[in-house]
Structure formats: C-alpha cells, structure tokens
Structure 1
Amino acid sequence: MMNPAGASILAIDQGTTNTKAILVDGAGQVRARASTALSVSYPRPSWVEQDAAAIWQSVVQCAAEVLSTAPETPVALGISNQRESVVLWERATGEALAPCVIWQCQRGNALVETLKQPGVAEDVHRRTGLELDPMFSASKMRWLLDNTPGARQRAAAGELCLGTIDSWLLFKLTGGRVHACDMTNASRTLLLDLEHLDWSDELCAALDVPRAVLPRVVASSVREPWGYTAK
C-alpha cells in the first residue's frame, strides 16, 4: 500500500560502521540520502565498543540532512539497527552511563561458560532458539550492570534503562516517553521466550538481568505507532 500523495517516510539504518538515513515519498521514491561514519573501539583483547552518544548524534545528523530537503514533516519514521549491541542509560536524562557494548564483543565469555551446565544450554535453546554465546545481548547486559559504578543499586531504584540499539534510539527520539524494542531485536538477547514472545523471568533470573530495566517488547507489525518524536 502506498502512502498518501506527498506523505513521506524517514528511514534510519543504524549500523556498526555507519548510520544511514533515507527519505521516501508517497510514491515509494527515494528523495534524499545521508550517511555518517562511526568509529569502533577495542579497549582490550576481545572487547569491542562504541560511543553511545556518538551513535545518537549520527542519527540526529543524518536525519537533519535528509529532512532539510523535505517539503513537509514525514508522517512516519522507521528504524533498523545493529543487533545484540547494548546501551545502559539514565532514565531521567537519557544519558548513557557507559560505552555501547557491541555485538562482536566477547567480554561476557566467562559468564557464558559458567552457564554451560548439564541441561542449562538445552533449556536456553528450547526457550530462545539460541545457543549460549557471548555475542548475544544478555551477557553484555549483565556485564554493564556489574561493572558500571552504582548500576545495580540504581537499577533496583528504577533509575536506569537497559536495551538494544533500537530501544536506545526510540527512547531518545521520544524524549524518554517510550522504552520499547522490536521483537526481532529482543529475540537476539538470550532473554526472550519464543513461546510467549516476552521476556523470560527464568532467564532474566539466571543471567541476573532485572526485567524492570528492560524495554517493552513490541512486534514491528503492529498498526499503531510506537510513539511520537519529541521535537
């Protein structure tokens, strides 16, 4: 189905090495494109991270560039993103408290190895469809909570949010009004129960990631908007 004549859509593709944006008109024609490069840091062997604020600024920059050509405000915005990467941020300000731990990072390997007990890997696979591997988000989430000063206490007090890149961008775009993630992103965390399509309380407990800090899981196929931009 086409959009109404003249109605445009802004699409954001937030990737590991760059962020891209395109503006598509009501006839499905691309009217503008923009791209911003991103750097990746390797602070220790097998550790890989990015500046979360730089990721956000790259989205702002690309969006501003393509919107400068738009005759009117787009009717919708869609996001695709690098998966498994994780951001920890302050709920009140939306500011990241640590670098984004991205999908290639293996710092959670020791934790994952401790979980490889008889029956555990099989249970994880049954619930999530995934193998125990530090690429997936859960071990990165656990690491951030354990190694960011005060994070455990602040998370218990409801002051922090934790999530995949789409949830981080959505939170920023809506001015902190929406903390949600796409179901396909959630499915790459090791925490989503595929039968119930929601976070597994058992897996959250096993990996010591409190459910309260996680985003709401939403299917991208829903017709209702997830939220509205703050500006």
Structure 2
Amino acid sequence: MKVVIYINNNKTIKKLASLTRKIHEEISDSNKVEIVITEKHNKEYSISQMNSADIIIIFAHGGSDRIYHDYTNTNNINDIIIDKSNANIFRNKKVIAFSCYTARELGPYAVNNQNCKNYLGFYNAINRDLLNQKTPPQVEYFFSCIYSEAFKNTMVNAINNKYTFGQIKKGLIIEMRKLIFSQVNNCGINGQRYEKCLIPDIIFSSKNTIDGIACFGDDTIPLW
C-alpha cells in the first residue's frame, strides 16, 4: 500500500500540515506501507506520486472544483494541481482533502465520474477568519492550533483503529467540537490572547467549517 501526503506551497498550509510527522510515525509503526510526503516538490513530481498511490491525504488551498499547488494567483491555471480535467488521478483511490470548498464539486465529481473510492473534504472554508468581523492574528493562531490538533488526533485514531470513512467524518466533527469548546473560553492558546467578546463569533465560524465536512462514496469502507 502506498500513501501520499500532498502539501502545497503555502506557509499557512505548511503550518496546518505540521502534524504530518505524527501521521507518518503512526502509519510507519502500524502498517507496512510506503509513505511519500510531497512537500517542496514541483507539480509534476507530486502528480506522479499521487498517480501511483492507494491513499491520498491533501493539505492545500482549494476551490469548489480545484486544488491549488501555489496560491499566488487563483486565476492562473498554473497554480492549480488538480481540477476536473485531471481528476482521474483519484480513480480507485481513497482521498482525504483538508482543503476549502472541494466537497462542493471536485469531491462528488471524482466519485461519480472518475470512480474515486472515497472522498472526504470540506464544503465550506476551513475558517481561520471570523465571518462577521475583522480577525485578530491571535484568533487566526487559535484556529490553526485547534484545527491542526483535531486533524492529527482524528487521523491517528483512524490509523490505529482502522476507521471507516464514515467514522473518520464523525470523529473529525467530534474532535473539532471538543477542542473548540474546551479551549475557546480560555480566550487564547499558547499565550496568544484575544478578547472575550470574540467568543460567539469564533464558535459561529468554527461551526460553519464543521458543518461543511462531507464524505462521498461508500462510507463503510475502511481507510486501511
């Protein structure tokens, strides 16, 4: 079995994907698999690795019908690594995409038109911004820490307990809610403090992200 963890060329994404070392350790310890992390590589190399993968885990900026390799110009086709034109890269594969909006079009298209086995992604943005007001950097940091921890914990549990895709979706929702509600009233994390008045909007913005977690394909199929 081959697992490819794709990380796109963006500092925000790289921070969010810092948990990949832990995922790598868990996979290495519990499964006889080949693991490739395509970080700091060009598109051609990343695509070639994904083409030969069984499982693809993606950390990247996304749009409704695309995943970005770079994120400097969203209208530049060269910034895109996967869209409907080459979504056959997902054929017969299991995909988890920590990418904004791709559950709107790309995920269902890959499953329904390209025989992707499973696609778990996000219908809405993975919000690091407040939806109703300007976002202080301390709140962005809070969201980044919470999401990274939730993604890591869910993936480690999925690997160790052989979760199905339905269980991964449920586990991710539970983990994100648990971490948000256990930490938000502290008005910060790791010394990065925010005003208490922002708490309702933090909860609202995180709910928008959590409610958008979607799974396509047979959700009774295990990840491993």
Superposition TM-score, scaled by structure 1 size: 0.28
RCO higher in structure (CA 8 A, sep ≥6): 2
When Rg is computed on C-alpha atoms for both structures, the one with the higher figure is 1
